[in-house]
Amino acid sequence: MSTADELKAKGNAAFAAGNHEEAIEHFTKAAELDPTNHVLYSNRSASLASLKRYDDALVDADKTVELKSDWPKGYSRKGAALFGLRRFEDARATYEEGLKHDPANALLKKGLADAEAALSGMPDDEDIGGIANRMSAAFQGDVLGKLAANPKTAAYVADPSFVAKIRAIQANPNKLQEYADDQRITIAMFTLMGMGDIFSQAAAGSPPEHKASPPAAARAAEAKPQAMEEDEPADLTEEDKEAAAKKGQAEEAKAQGNAAYKARQFDEALESYSKAIELHGTDITYWNNKAAVYFEMGLFDECIETAEKAVEVGRENRAEYKHISKALGRIGTAYSKKDDLDNAIRYYGQSLAEHRTADVLDKMRALEKLRKQRAEEAYRDDAKADEARERGNTLFKEGKFAEAQAEYSEAVKRNPGDARNYSNRAACLTKLIALPEAIKDCETCISIDPTFVKAHIRKSNALFMMREYAEALDALEIAKAQDTDKKNAAEIDQLEFKCYGAINEHTSRLTPEEALKRAQANPKIASILANPVMQNILQQMQADPRAAREHLKNPAVASNLRKLIAAGIVRMG
């Protein structure tokens, strides 16, 4: 399997060759392996922007900035995506924010200049209010009826794409700028404003009587005469006109459904979306919206059925991946509400395969974690845990430590709250010289039952084998305190004797100077020696060795002294 860096390199190569879809695929796989790598989202944002998928590019750019807010290129990516979406004000603000982190960045400076140049092509500030008000007013009311009644614009109304644009502008006047390259929209606007002769005069070569600069939309239209000519509709059949009319009615029904949905009037919203589907059932958004209503009503089966139909319609009509992904994600969430984790995770995975979003990814990971937790809980069985532990005990006595470890692991899975299972497995791991794992099991056992003497002894033994003599002695001190009935006293004393014997053997080969030099190189020992309280105690012990008895009554001081003894700083008499 390729690493994230290898996939990133493949993505970079594909990007350089102009294969942006391939690049996106590589960067996506790399991000799955390394989801906190901001560079991967930045590179994918650039690839998406190259394909003019600016909405998706903006999502990745936002993620880049989120992961590394002081990286100038992240702001450059975000600014480029916003510029592509014609959100010039937001693009300018983004480039300015990026320049705060790197004032000399040439790419950010160029982006800022481009954004300001785009903004300078808009009407002067003092004209914006009046023009905007007139433009907004022009698109109110029965716009399609007015345009259909005008011989110059009647043919436009028969085109579903034109009708859809008009509906979008009615819902959001800012959409007018987005459709600036469609001369029909500009002509329609001036016609609705009572200024239709402007374009007739321009076509004839004579200047209009109105000398003021037209708005940005008109200037953009004049800049692309060939594209505008191609947008002129051809002669349409009655069937085409009828389809266009139905599409317009469907958009109107959808708008009514959206308003009802926001007001939480779900029955009305359902009725409106159903009407839109009846009029123009090949638009995935109508099905998606209807599924959303069912979800809010708690009708999850109906939500799933409708969203599945949305996916079917979307695939048949080549809808954008993000719309199909949204429908699949909604199916996953509906299954989650039904507590069907397997299907929820399956549909979340399908959603991510179509279009990755952080929200769906987080939901899927949370459900995967919950499913694992439930599987572990379902597997628990105290009786079977006891049986597995007994089988482990038998195998341990036979010297079959690996097999015994497997049985103890089964006991842990069956009953993770039984301290004995961890202690017994620690004994196996020690025999197998898996000492860090043995210590971890001992500590888990102790966290469940701090009075479990055997766990303290086994921890001490593993530390002894790792030559951590001071820590081994600390564990034995705790074992002594917990061994109130003295049943383990002999084993504790024997291991303590071995620890001090090993310490003597080790330190006897060191001169005091060598011991001090090694101690200063050990952060733990150096910290003890630098402690003023310990310095005072050591001075007292040097003057009167009997003072050590009193100090050893303090567990913290005793632990520090054991560490100094193990390091050869304090010598035993």
Given a cut of 70, whether residue 414 has pLDDT beyond it is yes
* Class of residue 406 by CB neighbours under 10 A (exposed 0-12, middle 13-18, buried 19+): middle
All domains in the chain, ordered by first residue: 4-120 (1.25.40.10), 238-378 (1.25.40.10), 382-506 (1.25.40.10), 510-573 (1.10.260.100)
Given a cut of 80, whether residue 194 has pLDDT beyond it is no
The pLDDT score that the predictor gives to residue 212 is 36
Residue 139: how many CB atoms within 10 A of its CB? 20
Given a cut of 50, whether residue 351 has pLDDT beyond it is yes
- Looking at beta carbons, which pairs linking 525-528 to residues 24 or more positions away fall under 8 Å? 525/563, 525/564, 525/567, 525/569, 528/560, 528/563, 528/564
What is the Cα 117 distance to its own chain's centre? 35
Instruction: Tell me the average pLDDT of the chain.
Output: 83
Residue 269: how many CB atoms within 10 A of its CB? 24
Given a cut of 50, whether residue 118 has pLDDT beyond it is yes
Structure tokens at 560: 């520090």
Tell me which residue of 142, 137, 185 sits closest to 161, measured CA to CA: 185
Structure tokens at 568: 């050869």
Q: How far apart are CA 439 and CA 308, in angstroms?
A: 52
Q: How confident is the model at residue 81 (pLDDT cuts 50, 70, 90)?
A: very high
Q: How far apart are CA 377 and CA 83, in angstroms?
A: 52
Q: How confident is the model at residue 495 (pLDDT cuts 50, 70, 90)?
A: very high
The pLDDT score that the predictor gives to residue 237 is 53
Residue 571: how many CB atoms within 10 A of its CB? 13
Given a cut of 50, whether residue 395 has pLDDT beyond it is yes
Question: Which tens digit of pLDDT belongs to each residue from 35-51?
Answer: 999 999 999 999 999 88
Rg (CA), the chain: 37
* Class of residue 443 by CB neighbours under 10 A (exposed 0-12, middle 13-18, buried 19+): middle
The pLDDT score that the predictor gives to residue 448 is 96
The DSSP letter of residue 281 is T
Are the beta carbons of 8 and 43 closer than 8 angstroms? yes
Q: Taking the CA atoms of 155, 217, 259 and 318 in sequence, report the sign of the dihedral they define.
A: positive
Averaged pLDDT for residues 111-125: 70
Residue 308: how many CB atoms within 10 A of its CB? 17
Q: How confident is the model at residue 180 (pLDDT cuts 50, 70, 90)?
A: low
Q: How confident is the model at residue 353 (pLDDT cuts 50, 70, 90)?
A: very high
* Unique residue bearing structure tokens 């003497």: 453
Higher per-residue confidence, 215 vs 414:
414
Q: How far apart are CA 300 and CA 88, in angstroms?
A: 41
